[in-house]
Amino acid sequence: MQIRRSREKRSAKSKRKRLSLRQGQVSPPLIVPENIPRPPYVGVKHVPEISSEIQVHDSEGIARMQDSCKLAAQVLEHAGTLVKPGVTTDEIDKAVHEMIINAGAYPSPLGYGDFPKSVCTSVNECMCHGIPDSRPLKDGDIINIDVTVYLNGYHGDTSKTFFCGDVDESAQQLVKVTEECMMKAISICKAGASYKTIGQTISEYAEKHDFQVVEIFVGHGVGRIFHSEPLIYHERNDRPGLMVESQTFTIEPILTTGRTNHVMWDDGWTALTADGSLAAQFEHTILITKSGAEILTKC
């Protein structure tokens, strides 16, 4: 689950008629058994402030991060098998929720601020934070599924954009390049590397393929805390700071086929491209090592 660099947001009322995506009915939040530990923000209505803590782990913390990220990756892989024309995003949410709680974990998005669901499902022009609802997926859709689990006190966070049925070549190319941008950025990460090289790497590769990088949504530190420093900018930037061995954070670029400005639905979460162009996103949680980066959310 991603965060904004700014809390500013635009109303979708004047733009929504230009967009193809329509909101369906949102069912009530699903129940989590009382015996499953909750993150500390559950029950608090406002979105938590971003922690200034750089999350660096000892050996036990790394092991717990590996476990939570492994579960998140497995849940995401299962969710992807459900993507078919006619399936609703609400059905995907229920399947994700059940798999997470059956593993004794908590679905991190549920109750984060007022987010009402256990997973984010972002279809077509939705950049991120789509709320699962009754809308059936259609042949030719693309959908990002963003899974975060809270297991043994640690969050594992990952997302992937999937094809629904017969997807046209331009959408396929967007999805392919977005994943390649993420992987190229991960490949340059290691202890002592500058955070700003992430945005430089992503921007250069996206522009080479005539896609645009969304600036307002960023990656973040993750671990015991859902969202913390460092904020990971995916476009060119002058952010100071160097990566530290044993820290964990996400890289999660969003690319579009058109402009990168956005509008928000009245739910306060669903962010869509203002011009209705397609958007795709991929995300991994990584662990920084002396010589590189370990992808914790890789199946």
Q: pLDDT per position in the chain (299 positions), as tens?
A: 776 665 444 434 333 334 479 989 999 999 999 999 999 999 998 999 999 999 999 999 999 999 999 999 999 999 999 999 999 999 999 999 999 999 999 999 999 999 999 999 999 999 999 999 999 999 999 999 999 999 999 999 999 999 999 999 999 999 999 999 999 999 999 999 999 999 999 999 999 999 999 999 999 999 999 999 999 999 999 999 999 999 999 999 999 999 999 999 999 999 999 999 999 999 999 999 999 999 999 98
SS3 230: strand
The model carries a pTM of 0.94
Q: Is there a binding annotation on residue 252?
A: yes
pLDDT on residue 18: 40
Q: Does residue 16 fall inside a structural domain?
A: no
Give the domain range for residue 58.
Answer: 51-295
What pLDDT score does 19 carry? 47
Residues in the chain: 299
Annotated ligand binding at 97? The verdict is no
Q: On the CB side of 12, how many CA atoms lie within 13 Å of its CA?
A: 25
Evaluate whether residue 8 is within a structural domain: no
What pLDDT is stored for residue 10 in this prediction? 41
Cβ partners under 8 Å of residue 87, min gap 6: 136, 137
Q: Is 215 annotated as a binding residue?
A: no
- The count of domains in the chain is 1
231 Cβ neighbours under 8 A, 6+ residues apart = 3, 5, 50, 218, 219, 220, 239
Residue 204 known to bind ligand:
no
Instruction: Give the residue from 237, 265, 3 showing the smallest Cα distance to 108.
Output: 3
In a domain, 230, yes or no: yes
Q: Is 291 exposed, middle or buried (0-12, 13-18, 19+ CB in 10 A)?
A: exposed
pLDDT confidence of residue 88: 98
Query: Is 168 assigned a ligand-binding role in the annotation?
Result: no
Of the chain, the end-to-end C-alpha distance in Å amounts to: 19
**Does residue 20 form part of some domain?**
no
Whether residue 86 lies inside any domain: the answer is yes
Residue 172 lies in a domain: yes
Assign residue 142 the CATH number of its domain.
3.90.230.10
The CA distance from 254 to 218, in Å, is 9
Q: Is there a contact between 75 and 109 (Cβ–Cβ < 8 Å)?
A: no
Query: Which value, in Å, is the radius of gyration of the alpha carbons in the chain?
Result: 18
155 labelled binding-site residue: no
**Which pLDDT tens digit goes with each residue over 103-112?**
999 999 999 9
Task: Confirm whether 268 is domain-assigned.
Answer: yes
Q: Is residue 64 part of a domain?
A: yes
223, 155 Cβ separation under 8 angstroms = yes
Q: Are 200 and 228 in contact (CB under 8 A)?
A: no
